């Protein structure tokens, strides 16, 4: 169960309205790696954790924090939209700066949400539950989380470069720092789990059931051998189970496929003569 | 540019038709972590790589291999659908085993694709470009790739447990082994990049611009302190820049927000008395 | 069965082309509360009505009218796109007013639809059957309809504020008036149904089967008690079945959950030591 | 900012696993009117409220409660999935009851989420931000909320009818009672707002700017006059601004449209001879 | 503008309820090539036609008929759902035939639509405006329409094979016949347009502006030359502008690409040493 | 199985960066008729072909070529994005030309993909597997392919008109020529199949099972008889099976529908008095 307090976790007031930037900021609210994604993802991972209370508690801690980040961003977007001059069409037709603002903002911010934030990304595509990753396997999922915080910090940093507003930059510097912590955190949790179960997910599938002759084989399917220079092309494999090998001139391991004709009730093309 | 040869990379014939399993197998073809996802993801990462030819070549190698895995799965699904008895409704109304098969298969396999595979997941939701991750930052993206291969191998292993067909199991044992290699590979590539630029993505943003006082702070927002026991709660941080700290009784760093009234042309609720 | 006549239900010619406004107008054609939504929604509600011919007939009347509104908007959008100067790139690179127009219009109007309307919203996201509400319960659905006409009129009014074109304003004044009627109409139909079956949907579920101790309880989960001042916090409940109560310091009614470990064939994280 | 406590708001343990019912229960978690929808909707409405602190506080109270309902349902679904016999394919091929269970469950519960809940509906379609309604106009939005609680209670009641598990029924009886309260609550809030600003949304648009001659006119576009019997067809209108009228044999108010030919750079069909 | 009459264009009563078949029938109502798709597609093509009144009128004729087909299918689905025994869970747990029915039907038909049709396909994915094709170029669009009627008739025929209900078969035989007519119709319209403007769409782009040396060249990119046997590999081209040629051992016409490094404010991976 | 070579099939360097045009070019990469669509479509058609090796081989040839076109477009888009001045906000606020560029580009190109191409269309909506058409019936599918190449060439031609960059125009002139070839090719393949099996898809359904009295009947449902002038309204039908007829004043062939009341466990509106 959750409780809400009205104070924001962190806040800085923007210096001025900026509806075009409000549209961009939607990316880290409702995009693939926005705050809605990580909130839903961590909470579902927590709720689906079976045993391992330490990890469940940690997931609920972080998922709950991400709800506060959603709140900070919706508030910032609503502030940036204040004063969007959407009723000044006549002027805009003459004034190209005003025209560029009105053409560059998300029209739904004026028509649909009444100058409020929306659960959509920076091009207006709605947030989608299909972004969520919660598999029940914690090592797999913590890798998803490390990626999410890496992509999320990268996007926040790029947005930081795209504004001169000191208030916005201040708030982003808080979110960027939290992304730093969360990358640190998932790296720590991953190192704990890898130390215990090894690096290959899932660790519980008997390795002898996989086709082991290709478990450490790099296959050179794009002509040119620049890829032979990487750590993945030779030397001991990362799972400590073998040696990397480089398959320079790869061939198929099987024949061409052949399907039987469809039965009549499927009404495919009849066989040609 | 690409060339195709008709031979499959690997193949094993299923022992018998199984339209219900064909529906399930769609998950690792057209699901969030199916072969279409990794093919498109690695190819787009390769095409968007700027400099760093070794990584571009490697991405094109692996992306091209995933195209072959799409081909293996479409072929397997088409074989499993052979003999789907969709014209035997009258019998099915009496024979519950037949009824369960017809009720459990994906009806589009009979109505839409004519017993062929489709670019959809195991519940029939179409594959979506929004799954794709290609940011231009290789360390971020290789973490996405490690996650994709972890989720992908986990799903393939779960599917392996859900069939007794030796042909299907044989083909899956090849895909599982390749997922082993690909986890090894992304781990190797990540270790190369982290050795050079450090573990926090992106490495190029000046750390003094972030709000450093919260960069190593774990915030306990779910009541109970089980999460204090993790590696992330104390000791040196993973980025070597500080010490993890545990904020046991967290409070907000800011006040409650307050938005200005909307202008009249937005036609919000007028202020209440 | 339907018949079409070529005359528009209402029409006013726009004074001039305006491709940026054409993009905005797509919201009330193909957005969540656009004319496609209400047409499909009312028609499906009508087709699914069981008994109650008066309501079925009324739904078919209004659904059929909404088809005419789709037609009015597609025609208006096609007119507004006439003269979109998409071949004048060289000039646009110099002329910022032209540049703002070309940057602010929906590029699909030039590339995909050939200056025609599309079944998409103002940011280009396609209309989606998931917007449709048709539950078989008329009181529930008429509330959905009242909302749809409220949101729809609000959006039309906001669009009215965003143009100076007298032709466009004239056509919108017709649609706004019809939304007025349709709000009136759903209010009337709701009052009929509520008079007969009461205000809680569905009325046919025995009230003693619900956990009645929380049926009239307002729970104060956001710190601060401003919400205690509302009609919902004290006095007789709207369904006449009790008194509103205010739960100022709420606590959970249950314990913390605990899930069993997953079985081995699921390959979750093994239990940590 | 939010805090989490581990206790559930309410809880009752299911009597036995039931993976087919787990799939159905996803509807009120991740469907159009599931708990994710109302949580996101109320929170966004709260965050976007400008002035009117009483309503903002109330929205945050209820949105925060819906987060607890998400938690209750994810926990229930995880319990119902315990013991899903997905590794018993060989038996299922013989045992039609087992076959029907395996064919009727959502395969992603076994392959993707590892026996956990997902943010999807009962057919597996992911939750979508496009369901969210938050317009900035409180009367419009409270009508959306009343509809959401009506549809939500209807769905919960239908699900109540589809199980014999006393634990599940007990938990549903709590959610149904809360839906009763929330219908009461939105009715109360609506009556407050309508008393102050009238029943037509938005109230701030000058009525003389709409085409008033059609503001109270019912148009009979489906042959047959059953619809003339309703409250909407005669008598004073609900907004107190006029009399309902019935347009029995409606005609268009305008001529047939005519579009100009597309310019050459659009490459439409050339004019036919 | 449209008028509705209550009579169905054609109708036959199903012999018995069949909720599993109701789910399948959704494909030709709300699937990619269902009646909603063709109705919306033809109407939008008609509304966007500029000049060429004969084609506009014809498109409105056919689009209006497809609305009647939507109505026939929603009615049929509602009939097939009558008597869906969703409250008989206890029996279903014992009776595998009943269990297969309840597991095989679309659960939303019971929970969401109250035994009514929905604008979704046979796996429950909502209809999507992105299916719609209306480009402004009539020859292009009539080819889309010919395909739609081909896929649509194919799906209706496959569904005809999947039922023994004489009422359902009777209604399908009407829809199949109309699809026959519509294939005939689009073939006729295409032949008119091709006779006038040639077979390559668009006909108005000067052919000398395209890279003519590859305009009639078949490129053999899948090893093996079975494709050399087709009409497309030799002989005069269909547009009468040249001779088909077969490029048996194709090579690239260009060099490998090379992108410049990203600027610093993008924060990509720094160049490796 | 596939092999990649690093050379592009064709290439021409753009004269200058143009981030607004990069956004537009996404349409023919990730739109409904972009290169991703045709690549996936032809490959799935090939993989699902049963018998008919000539067509399978041809489909694999063309599908493999489309992969090369994806590569050409991703490379072009990455080049056009080089130098997108997204860090020059302060200047943009003064310089309307710069403002129009920043407002008109896709913000995700700067925030998400780091100046790389994405699998999305020109308004940023992700590519969707639901665009794919692969039915198992080759004549049906080749008609889909002819449409795809017609729409695709039309869009490429429109984009050609929207730029003055000679490099971009050069590359487009190659893609346009290939679309010419592919229209030629599908026309040739269609003529082969139609010669063998006739023009109505599917050819294998006994014509006497359809309601033949409406198989050649044009129904005039939009008032006005312009549509009587077409080839489809009189004369021998295209399938050689009858004569076209024109139904000038059409009436329904059936009565008004009537549904039974829903059972109590569905909780619809109770019958009104």
Whether A24 contacts A172, CB under 8 Å: no
Report residue A90's pLDDT band, with 50, 70 and 90 as the boundaries. confident
Question: Is residue B222 a known part of a binding site?
Answer: yes
Decide if D9 and C262 are in contact by the 8 Å CB cutoff: no
Decide if B56 and A256 are in contact by the 8 Å CB cutoff: no
Report residue C95's pLDDT band, with 50, 70 and 90 as the boundaries. confident
Number of inter-chain CB pairs under 8 A, A vs E: 14
Phi, psi of C174 (to 5 degrees): -70, -50
Sign, CA torsion D221/D222/D225/D230? negative
User: Which residues in chain F have their CB less than 8 angstroms from residue B63's CB?
Assistant: 4
Q: Which of C46, C8, C43, C24 is nearest to C109 (CA)?
A: C24
- Please give the pLDDT value at position C254: 95
Say if strands F2-4 and B2-4 run parallel, antiparallel, or are unpaired. antiparallel
Share of residues in chain D with pLDDT > 70 (%): 99
Average pLDDT score over chain C: 95
Report residue C84's pLDDT band, with 50, 70 and 90 as the boundaries. confident
Least reliable range by pLDDT among C88-102, C108-122, D200-214, D226-240: C88-102
| Nearest by CB: B1 against F1, F7, F114 | F7
| Nearest by CB: D267 against F158, F265, F267 | F158
Residue of E109, E268, E271 to mutate for B, most B C-beta atoms under 10 A: E268
User: Which residues in chain A have their CB less than 8 angstroms from residue B255's CB?
Assistant: 7-8, 11
Residue of A9, A201, A250, A252 to mutate for B, most B C-beta atoms under 10 A: A201
Q: In sequence order, what are the residues at sequence separation of 6 or more whose Cβ sits closer than 8 angstroms to the Cβ of residue D76? A: D14, D25, D168, D171
Q: Which of A23, A114, A73 is nearest to D49 (CA)?
A: A114
Question: Is residue D260 a known part of a binding site?
Answer: no
User: Which residues in chain A have their CB less than 8 angstroms from residue E269's CB?
Assistant: none
Question: Is residue A79 a known part of a binding site?
Answer: no
* H or E segment to which residue F182 belongs: helix F166-197
Question: Is residue D66 a known part of a binding site?
Answer: yes
Sign, CA torsion A154/A158/A161/A163? negative
- Please give the pLDDT value at position C273: 59
C-alpha A19, offset from chain centre: 24
- Please give the pLDDT value at position A9: 97
Residue of C129, C156, C161, C162 to mutate for B, most B C-beta atoms under 10 A: C161
pLDDT-flagged residues of chain F (< 50): none
pLDDT-flagged residues of chain B (< 70): 273
Q: Each residue of D209-224: pLDDT tens digit?
A: 999 999 999 999 999 9
pLDDT-flagged residues of chain E (< 50): none
Whether A184 contacts B239, CB under 8 Å: yes
Phi, psi of E156 (to 5 degrees): -65, -40
Q: Rounded to whole angstroms, what are the CA distances from E87 to D44, E90, E102, F266? A: 37, 8, 10, 9
Question: Is residue A4 a known part of a binding site?
Answer: no
- Please give the pLDDT value at position E273: 58
| Nearest by CB: F230 against E58, E174, E268 | E58
| Nearest by CB: B267 against C157, C266, C267 | C157
d(CA F69, CA F72): 5
Q: Which of B6, A69, C173, C257 is nearest to F60 (CA)?
A: B6
Question: Is residue D220 a known part of a binding site?
Answer: yes
User: Which residues in chain F have their CB less than 8 angstroms from residue B114's CB?
Assistant: 48, 135-137
C-alpha B225, offset from chain centre: 32
Residue-range domain boundaries for chain B: 19-197, 206-273
**Secondary structure of F126-155 as H, E, C letters:** ECEHHHCCCCCCHHHHHHHHHHHHHHHHHH
| C19-197 matches C206-273 in fold | no
Nearest CA in chain B to A31: B130
One DSSP character per residue, A34-60 reads: SHHHHHHHHHHHHHH--S-HHHHHHHH
- Please give the pLDDT value at position E148: 98
CA distance B87 to chain F (A): 14
Residue reference for tokens 């509705």: E4
Decide if C4 and F221 are in contact by the 8 Å CB cutoff: yes
User: Which residues in chain C have their CB less than 8 angstroms from residue D147's CB?
Assistant: 133, 140, 143-144, 146-147
Nearest CA in chain A to C31: A112
**Extended strands (E) in A62-169:** none
| Nearest by CB: B157 against C158, C162, C267 | C267
Average pLDDT score over chain D: 95
Decide if C51 and F100 are in contact by the 8 Å CB cutoff: no
CA distance C255 to chain A (A): 10
Cβ neighbours of F177 (radius 10 Å): 23
Decide if F96 and C96 are in contact by the 8 Å CB cutoff: yes
User: Which residues in chain C have their CB less than 8 angstroms from residue D64's CB?
Assistant: 221-222
Number of inter-chain CB pairs under 8 A, C vs D: 336
- Please give the pLDDT value at position A165: 96
- Please give the pLDDT value at position A175: 98
CA distance E273 to chain C (A): 38
User: Which residues in chain F have their CB less than 8 angstroms from residue C202's CB?
Assistant: 267-268
Per the structure block, which two tokens stand in for D196? Answer: 């102050």
Number of inter-chain CB pairs under 8 A, A vs C: 126
Per the structure block, which two tokens stand in for A62? Answer: 């972080």
| Nearest by CB: D203 against B122, B161, B270 | B270
| Nearest by CB: E153 against F201, F213, F231 | F201
Decide if E270 and B89 are in contact by the 8 Å CB cutoff: no
Decide if C272 and A52 are in contact by the 8 Å CB cutoff: yes
d(CA D226, CA A57): 60
CA distance C113 to chain E (A): 4
- What subunits touch chain D, counting only 3 or more CB pairs under 8 A? A, B, C, E, F
One DSSP character per residue, E15-54 reads: SS--HHHHHHHTHHHHSTTSHHHHHHHHHHHHHH--S-HH
End-to-end CA distance of chain E: give it in Å, rounded: 69
Largest CA distance in chain F: 77
Domain A19-197: homologous superfamily in CATH = Ferritin, core subunit, four-helix bundle (1.20.1260.10)
Cβ neighbours of C97 (radius 10 Å): 17
- What subunits touch chain A, counting only 3 or more CB pairs under 8 A? B, C, D, E, F
d(CA C159, CA C168): 10
Whether C233 contacts C241, CB under 8 Å: no
Q: Is the ipTM of this complex over 0.85?
A: yes
- What mean pLDDT do residues A133-144 have? 98
What architecture is the A206-273 domain classified under in CATH? 2-Layer Sandwich (3.30)
Whether C201 contacts D33, CB under 8 Å: no
Decide if E5 and C3 are in contact by the 8 Å CB cutoff: yes
């Amino acid at each position: 169960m959750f409780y809400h307090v009205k104070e924001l976790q962190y806040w800085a007031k923007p210096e001025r309205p900026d509806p075009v930037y409000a549209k961009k900021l939607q990316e880290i609210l409702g995009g693939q790696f926005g705050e809605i994604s990580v909130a839903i993802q961590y909470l579902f991972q927590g709720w689906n954790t079976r045993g391992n209370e330490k990890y469940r508690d940690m997931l609920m801690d972080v998922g709950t924090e991400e709800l506060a980040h959603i709140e900070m961003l919706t508030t910032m977007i609503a502030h940036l939209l204040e004063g969007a001059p959407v009723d000044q069409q006549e002027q805009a037709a003459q004034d190209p700066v005003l025209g560029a603002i009105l053409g560059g903002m998300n029209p739904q911010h004026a028509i649909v949400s009444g100058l409020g934030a929306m659960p959509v990304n920076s091009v207006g595509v709605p947030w989608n539950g299909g972004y969520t990753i919660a598999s029940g396997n914690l090592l797999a999922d913590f890798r998803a989380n490390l990626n999410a915080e890496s992509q999320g910090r990268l996007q926040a940093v790029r947005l930081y470069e795209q504004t001169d507003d000191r208030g916005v930059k201040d708030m982003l510097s808080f979110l960027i720092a939290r992304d730093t912590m969360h990358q640190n955190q998932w790296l720590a949790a991953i190192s704990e789990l890898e130390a215990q179960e090894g690096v290959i997910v899932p660790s519980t599938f008997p390795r002898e059931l996989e086709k082991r002759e290709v478990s450490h084989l790099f296959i050179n399917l794009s002509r040119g051998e620049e890829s032979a220079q990487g750590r993945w092309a030779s030397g001991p494999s990362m799972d400590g189970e073998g040696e990397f090998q480089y398959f320079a001139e790869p061939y198929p391991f099987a024949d061409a496929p052949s399907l039987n004709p469809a039965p009549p009730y499927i009404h495919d093309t009849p066989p040609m003569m």
